[in-house]
Amino acid sequence: MEKSIFNRIFIVDDDQSIRKVLRIQLENAGYNIHIAQSGEEALQVLQNNLFKPDCILSDIRMPGMSGLDLLPLFKEKLPLVPVIMLTAHTDLDTGLSAMRLGSFDYITKPVRKQELLETIKKALQYRAVLFENERLTRESKQYQETLEQSVRDRTKELFKAYQTLKDTNLATVRVLAETIEAKDPYTRGHCNRVRLFSRETALHYGLESEKIEILEYGALLHDIGKIGIPESLLHKQRPLNHDEKFAFEEHPTIGENILKLVDFFTPCLDIVRHHHEWFDGTGYPDRIKGPETEFLTKIVQVTDAYDAMTSNRPYRSALPVESALDELKQGRGIQFDPEIVDLFVDEKIYLICLEAV
């Protein structure tokens, strides 16, 4: 199996013993390691291009510049490089704050080798996906500019290239969706089912193909922010407490912050940020009401809720179809747009995924 090109890890920690342990474990795992003993030294390394990391592992509490001080500087200079924060067991709130500021994940000290290697592996997979998408977007832009010069003489070639590009971008988005589901196996297949439900709903409304394309991307990526949610919350088998619920409800804004780094995803940002808003304005994160919500987003609100209700989750079993439909009807005008609920139920759109699930 070919080794990934992404293997450069930058460790920033003021504790010599921790630096030594991390370096030994990661070098033994085949990673290329560079060390900085302080935030100030880390910035010098990056500013002088002494090391080009694929992933940054930074302590939060350090003399001088803390990890939280460094995080926005890292994200500004290296927006496609995931940052993993190190925090003490007694300081988990700070770890969650780092997630909200854009870190990929956090690890509590003392660091366990298996957790360290698994978290870095996921971060580098995420790095590879973003890198590939950036490359595809750049090539797409260059290709379209070339086609514009000869569009009159090459209409058939342009159409063929456009179809190929659509397929490639959809495949890339599916990789991102699979990245979400790799972290939360209880939702495996959920994003694609929401895409299928949403597409079918849009076809019944007669929406143009460009809108349907945006809807499909948004449906596939609506839960991308769960990458920033600790797995302990995603897998918890009991209801979340107040603080855990608050942390979980950050995933729409985390998802928006991830995707807005790439211009290609701009049209579907509203779906990602607002898929948990309610029609009556009591949802999250912005508490906007139905009339203020984009139509494509309101479609995903219905299809996402239906599939979530009919899927097994750590804290409950899947609801029967009829029970889930009753829940949708009871939520008309409260949680969901009444017109979309009626179409989804009356046209039996919920049946289209029976062969896909």
* Torsion 167-200-254-307 (CA) sign: negative
Tell me, yes or no, whether 225 and 312 share the same domain. Answer: yes
pLDDT of 205 strictly over 70: yes
- The verdict on residue 346 lying in a domain is yes
Report how far residue 79's alpha carbon sits from residue 99's, in angstroms, rounded to the nearest whole number: 15
Tell me, yes or no, whether 241 and 333 share the same domain. Answer: yes
Domain edge (last residue) among 103, 123, 143:
123
- The verdict on residue 204 lying in a domain is yes
The confidence score (pLDDT) of residue 119 equals: 93
Q: Which of 165-169, 204-208, 296-300, 324-328 has the lowest mean pLDDT?
A: 165-169
Query: Residue 298's domain is classified under what CATH number?
Result: 1.10.3210.10
Query: Residue 41's domain is classified under what CATH number?
Result: 3.40.50.2300
Whats the size of the chain, residue-wise?
Answer: 357
Question: DSSP alpha helices (H): ranges in 52-91?
Answer: 67-77
pLDDT of 281 strictly over 90: yes
Tell me, yes or no, whether 191 and 119 share the same domain. Answer: no
The confidence score (pLDDT) of residue 101 equals: 85
Confidence of residue 188 (pLDDT cuts 50, 70, 90): confident
Q: What is the pLDDT of residues 18-75, one digit of tens each?
A: 999 999 999 999 999 999 999 999 999 999 999 999 999 999 989 999 999 999 999 9
- The verdict on residue 323 lying in a domain is yes
Tell me, yes or no, whether 110 and 196 share the same domain. Answer: no
- The verdict on residue 319 lying in a domain is yes
Report how far residue 43's alpha carbon sits from residue 105's, in angstroms, rounded to the nearest whole number: 21
Q: What is the pLDDT of residues 110-160, one digit of tens each?
A: 889 999 999 999 999 988 888 888 888 888 788 777 766 665 566 566 456
The confidence score (pLDDT) of residue 355 equals: 47
The confidence score (pLDDT) of residue 295 equals: 97
User: What are the phi and psi torsion angles at 261 (to 5°)?
Assistant: -70, -20
- The verdict on residue 164 lying in a domain is no
- The verdict on residue 176 lying in a domain is no
Q: What is the pLDDT of residues 285-335, one digit of tens each?
A: 999 999 999 999 999 999 999 999 998 876 678 899 999 999 999 999 999
The confidence score (pLDDT) of residue 5 equals: 77
Nearest CA to 169 among 205, 134, 193?
134
Domain edge (last residue) among 123, 141, 157:
123
- The verdict on residue 148 lying in a domain is no
Domain edge (last residue) among 74, 89, 123:
123
Report how far residue 113's alpha carbon sits from residue 110's, in angstroms, rounded to the nearest whole number: 10
Tell me, yes or no, whether 346 and 204 share the same domain. Answer: yes
Number of neighbours of residue 310 by Cβ within 10 angstroms: 19
Total domains in the chain come to 2
- The verdict on residue 173 lying in a domain is no
Could you tell me the pTM of the whole model?
A: 0.53
The confidence score (pLDDT) of residue 350 equals: 94
Tell me, yes or no, whether 105 and 22 share the same domain. Answer: yes
Domain that residue 75 falls in: 8-123
Buried b (16+ CB within 10 A) or exposed e, 202-218: beeeebeeeebbbbbbb
The confidence score (pLDDT) of residue 263 equals: 83
Tell me, yes or no, whether 190 and 335 share the same domain. Answer: yes
The confidence score (pLDDT) of residue 235 equals: 74
Confidence of residue 342 (pLDDT cuts 50, 70, 90): very high
Please give the structure tokens belonging to residue 91. 């300081």
Q: What is the pLDDT of residues 230-262, one digit of tens each?
A: 877 877 778 888 888 898 899 999 999 988 887
Q: Which of 4-8, 87-91, 131-135, 141-145 has the lowest mean pLDDT?
A: 87-91
